[in-house]
Structure 1
Amino acid sequence: MGAGVLFAWCADGRVACPEPTSHRVGYGGGDMIAAYIGLLLSAVVCVLMFSLAYKASNGYRTSRYQSMMRYGKETQSMQDRQDLYRFGLTQPLRRDRSSWQTAGLSFGTMALIGSSALWFGPAVGQGGLSVIGFGLPILALFYICVSGSLAEIASAMPTAGSLSHASIVLGGVQWGRRTGWFHAAGHLVMLALFIGGCAYLTDSVAAWYFGYSSSVFSFICLAALIAVAQAACLQWGASWLGWLHGAGIWLQLLIGGLVIGAVIWLLWPDSYSAALLYQFDAAGFIEHVRPESYLIGLLLLMKLFLGMDGAAAGAEETLEPRVRVPWAIYLSTAYTYIGGLIMLTVVSLAVASAYGSGALLHTVMGAFGASSIALIAETAIASWGGAGFIILFVAVSLWTSGLQSMTVAARVMYSLARDESIPCSRWIGRVTTGGRITPHGSWAAAALALLLLTGAQLWWSNEMFIGLLAAAIVLMHIAYGIPIGLRLREMFRRRPSQRGGRREEKEGIWQDAPWHLGEWSGPVNAISFCWLGLTAALAVAFLSFDAAIAAMGLGLLLTMYETWVYMRARAGSRSSETRKLN
């Protein structure tokens, strides 16, 4: 968003060509010390990333897992099929996804470009530029731990519903169903967020181009058209869908590179100091940012890391998923942080250099909720040149991320349907003779996402994107936290003298996993669990209390469904007993 705003306003003549930032803002010794601390924090994140990756590589060499890839893809496919048999599952799906295509599910669902376009402006408007300098590394520091925990689970549970199946193994069927419901709901909310962002941006630009007035009706109609196009693509484009998921990574990298290159070309050789990112000043550099505003800025940037588990949804369609899927989860998180830090740092300094201090920067960066997307469209209209192409790229990126998010949601629902844990299980869980998931799950995901988006529009109006983001954070963090918490409980219960039976079977699942962190697993899981719980509570407190209501409402629906399942099973058992007596 920042780049589009910068290009349009400069081209429109609303601001003069930028003067060197160093002429406008003074820096003291304290500012430089803060900058060094921020750079040190970024270095700590990089050290953690490399350390966990090195530990996981050692875990691969010490595990009992033996790769069959050296004997050919058919042999490896037989081993993957055998891994599913261990969990009582068959292999109805085709295994034809590459590592790159699987990684595209995680990378696309996190949506570096789409998430930056939607939340960069509001995050900086709330937390100042230091939300990039300090905030983004802090988020990465903890989400790298979360990705490590999820990668371990995906390596041990090579299924489309790895989180729910891990919860079943560690806590029983009820915990597995709860995890699956919150997981599916979180991805559906993120799908609604992508569809809504793409529709709002497209509606604003189309209204200017075709001369009509934007309204709730036009927004919903465009959202329905986008959702139908994505579901139709999943139905009739199955043969090239994997290629599209892999191409989505290149698309986001291309857009990020264009933004960075265009900003440097536009402002070079202007001099602006990176110390701006470490001053804890509000957006206009007039006063220091308040702690609560800074927290809101951090929460908004969390969307950059939500959906890192997307690769796990394609595990049953990926060759050697116990190795490739966890690396896709982990590396997608790491690369999103690195790419996001570089792009948002350049854009932040460019925006600060162009607007300087004062109310103008507040106007540009302070847009919140739907107003943020409207500002993107306004800048495209003001300068339909380079900025216009960036807006088109952002819209395409949002559409592609929505497609990948719908793919993940459909496969999570497929996993639940196969376990008979959701209504209409037989309809959603069907597989074609060619080994493809039927499009029923995709159409169901599209319909549910549209229903959520319409409800959010009616309930929150212009703040619907904030409400949806808060709900996504809470639901996804609960889904991530349940299996991680159950595994921590299992670790605390473990005693060296206790061997054999169920406990040994559970330990064997993790020992056989080729991607594991060894003795680091306990501390990493503990950090992840505490982070997920804390930030879910902060999202409720600072973004929207309605997110807690949504989570409780989902829990109520789940309780009603479980009661219905229990009553139906009880009625069936009574009928069978009556037939036996007769």
Structure 2
Amino acid sequence: MVAAYIGLLLAAAVCALMIGLAYKASIGYRTSRYQSMLRYGKETQSMQDRQDLYQFGLTHPLQRDRSSWQTAGLSFGTMALIGSTALWYGPAVGQGGLSIIGFGLPILALFYICVSSSLAEIASAMPTAGSLSHASIVLGGARWGRRAGWFHLAGHVTLLALLIGGCAYLADSVASWHFGYTPSALSFMSLAVIIAVSQGIFHQWGAAWLGWLHGAGIWLQLLVGGIVVGSMVWLLWPDSYSAAVLYQFDSAGFAAHIRPESYIVGLLLLMKLFLGMDGASAGAEETIEPRVRVPWAIYLSTAYTYVAALVMLTIVSLAVAYSYGTGTLGPSSMRASGVANLEWFTGTAMAGFGGSWLIAVLIVASLWISGLQSMSVCARTVFSLARDESVPFSKWIGRVTARGRITSHSSWAVAATALLLLGCAQLWWRNDMFIGLLAAAIVFLHTAYAIPIGLRLWVSRGRRQVRYGSARGEKEGIWRDAPWHLGEWSGTVNAIAFGWLMLCCGMAVAFLAWEAAIAAIGLGLLLVLSYAWSRWQTSTGRGS
């Protein structure tokens, strides 16, 4: 019971930290020099938002019509509460036992709350679609900005491939039950293409509805989570089962103790719940009052994802533990997979409905919408890099329509890249492709997050001068004047976040897929070649 009390205290400590950081940020808002113009109307606030962009030498071609809820959908949807648990709950529990929920989830939340706080500060200071790259330019120059931007884009495209692949995998399983065929690599890739094309079509002809769908995606995930929890409680009530099983460090079958390296793998798999928390920052230039709403969207999406995941996965885990003793439920294997128990969550949830397909269909629908939200984040990240001429075909890929919408060129580009990445992952890793993609996403995104956070720590120690490129002048005080900031807590939180991000990169390479390090090195070489090419064009006069 002592371990159970420690686990409960850890979960309470995470909640206390979330409340404390939110309170500190609210104090920072009141003491900052920022003045909201929203009380004078949306048009007045939009004028202030445009002026914020002008300070960084950027124009404002996009239409501002997103609410804070719709912006939060970009973060909440990319983290994919339902999709992430549907894909990774079973493998994580299979590696780390049920204690991966009792201890592992609060440990992850403890550090990722610090990461989200650091990213929220950056988004508040840099209200642009490419806040990470622009913050890196401010702190370290153009080269660091391009590095952060490319790693950020690579991470989100990898996440998109993971979400498309996960949706195709579960859809293939559901279709095979109904139509009685044997799933194969061909059926999987065919469904992946259909999913990516349908999402691209929606970006091209349904752009006006994207904001609404981003907000609706949050409600769909909460609805599915509520249905899963309700079905588990309804099925098992009033049978009793102790929550102590979540704190015993035993294997999923309670046959042996979990090894430390296996527990670390389980933690890494469960990290998908928090990957993509910065998604809201990609919609900053379409959000009213982004310097306030975007950072809160990043922070609260992370906090609410943890709370919702903790409640849902605790109930599901207790139901799974009960099933081992009674046979009421059981991990249902839809089909063979290189990742053990990949369908465990979906199979258990379906058992709560007597084997009904309804829950599986809702999970697939949630994954499709999460992929759509992830594609939106990728498209806006590409737009930001194209505007800075940091990616090939910048003029074509970064076009904006007369109505202030990002064209579908960027959506189709990232969809094609994600499908190519998914196909290559299947050829290289075969059945372990989801593990490889997750490892690459962890390395890419954590590196992108670490660059501006690390540069902030470097600057705060007085080793470099804050700048914004040779043509844009000095931008002293940009962090101090941001309405969302943690004051004297900022340095400590940034240091914790940076250390955690670097540690996770190393663990992902060591315990998940060493090829992720090769991918990161390859991306770095592409950056070097791209910079050399741009310098050669400039020196020969061909870049004009």
Which TM-score band (shorter chain)? over 0.9
What CA distance in whole angstroms lies between the structure 1 residues aligned with 2:372 and 2:178? 26
Structure 2 residue 415 is matched with structure 1 residue 433: no
Q: What residue is the counterpart of 2:510 in the other structure?
A: 541
Alignment of 1:215-364 (within 5 A): 215-356=184-325
The answer to whether the 8 Å contact 2:250/2:256 transfers is yes
Structure 2 residue 3 is matched with structure 1 residue 37: no
Q: What residue is the counterpart of 1:443 in the other structure?
A: 412
Question: How far apart are 1:385 and its partner, in Å?
Answer: 5.1
Q: What residue is the counterpart of 1:15 in the other structure?
A: none
Which of 59, 70, 77 pairs up with 1:101? Answer: 70
What CA distance in whole angstroms lies between the structure 1 residues aligned with 2:502 and 2:533? 30
Alignment of 1:371-520 (within 5 A): 372-373=341-342, 387-493=356-462, 505-520=474-489
Question: How far apart are 1:505 and its partner, in Å?
Answer: 4.3
Query: Match of 2:53, as an amino acid?
Result: L
Which of 45, 51, 66 pairs up with 2:35? Answer: 66
What CA distance in whole angstroms lies between the structure 2 residues aligned with 1:34 and 1:207? 43
Structure 2 residue 141 is matched with structure 1 residue 172: yes
Alignment of 1:34-183 (within 5 A): 34-183=3-152
What CA distance in whole angstroms lies between the structure 1 residues aligned with 2:286 and 2:524? 31
Change (3 A) 1:345 1:384: closer
Structure 1 gap segments, 5+ residues each: 1-31, 577-582
Q: What residue is the counterpart of 1:21 in the other structure?
A: none
1:164-186 CA-to-partner distances (Å, cap 9, x unmatched) read 00000100001000100000000
Change (3 A) 1:409 1:88: same
Change (3 A) 1:287 1:370: closer
What CA distance in whole angstroms lies between the structure 1 residues aligned with 2:535 and 2:436? 34
RMSD: 2.5
What CA distance in whole angstroms lies between the structure 1 residues aligned with 2:407 and 2:9? 49
The answer to whether the 8 Å contact 2:268/2:508 transfers is yes
Question: How far apart are 1:506 and its partner, in Å?
Answer: 3.9
Question: How far apart are 1:217 and its partner, in Å?
Answer: 1.4
Structure 2 residue 528 is matched with structure 1 residue 559: yes
Question: How far apart are 1:544 and its partner, in Å?
Answer: 0.6
Query: Match of 2:381, as an amino acid?
Result: V
SS at match of 2:64: coil
The answer to whether the 8 Å contact 2:137/2:467 transfers is no
The answer to whether the 8 Å contact 1:128/1:280 transfers is yes
The answer to whether the 8 Å contact 1:194/1:402 transfers is yes
Query: Match of 1:221, as an amino acid?
Result: S
Percentage identity across aligned positions?
72
Greater shift in the superposed pair: 201-210 or 399-408: 201-210
The answer to whether the 8 Å contact 1:204/1:377 transfers is no
1:381-424 CA-to-partner distances (Å, cap 9, x unmatched) read 99985541111111001101000000000100110000000001
SS at match of 1:84: helix
Between Structure 1 and Structure 2, the one with more helix by share is 1
Structure 2 gap segments, 5+ residues each: none
1:237-281 CA-to-partner distances (Å, cap 9, x unmatched) read 111110000000000000000000000000000111111111111
The answer to whether the 8 Å contact 1:128/1:289 transfers is yes
Alignment of 1:519-530 (within 5 A): 519-530=488-499
What CA distance in whole angstroms lies between the structure 2 residues aligned with 1:385 and 1:338? 27
Between Structure 1 and Structure 2, whose CA radius of gyration is higher? 1
What CA distance in whole angstroms lies between the structure 2 residues aligned with 1:296 and 1:501? 40
Question: How far apart are 1:504 and its partner, in Å?
Answer: 11
What CA distance in whole angstroms lies between the structure 1 residues aligned with 2:353 and 2:489? 52
Length, aligned pairs only: 541
Question: How far apart are 1:213 and its partner, in Å?
Answer: 2.7
* TM-score, L = length of structure 2: 0.95
1:334-377 CA-to-partner distances (Å, cap 9, x unmatched) read 0000000000000000010012399x979979986555445677
Which of 173, 178, 200 pairs up with 1:204? Answer: 173
What CA distance in whole angstroms lies between the structure 1 residues aligned with 2:305 and 2:351? 30
Change (3 A) 1:365 1:235: closer
What CA distance in whole angstroms lies between the structure 2 residues aligned with 1:429 and 1:201? 33
What CA distance in whole angstroms lies between the structure 1 residues aligned with 2:398 and 2:16? 43
The answer to whether the 8 Å contact 1:160/1:316 transfers is yes
1:449-501 CA-to-partner distances (Å, cap 9, x unmatched) read 00000000000000000000000000000000000000000001179xx9999
Query: Match of 1:150, as an amino acid?
Result: L
Query: Match of 2:528, as an amino acid?
Result: T
1:24-54 CA-to-partner distances (Å, cap 9, x unmatched) read xxxxxxxx11110000001110110001000
Change (3 A) 1:369 1:45: farther
What CA distance in whole angstroms lies between the structure 2 residues aligned with 1:54 and 1:170? 27
SS at match of 1:511: coil
What CA distance in whole angstroms lies between the structure 2 residues aligned with 1:101 and 1:261? 27
Query: Match of 2:226, as an amino acid?
Result: G
Change (3 A) 1:163 1:455: same
Question: How far apart are 1:211 and its partner, in Å?
Answer: 3.2
What CA distance in whole angstroms lies between the structure 1 residues aligned with 2:432 and 2:246? 28
Query: Match of 1:152, as an amino acid?
Result: E
Change (3 A) 1:219 1:376: farther
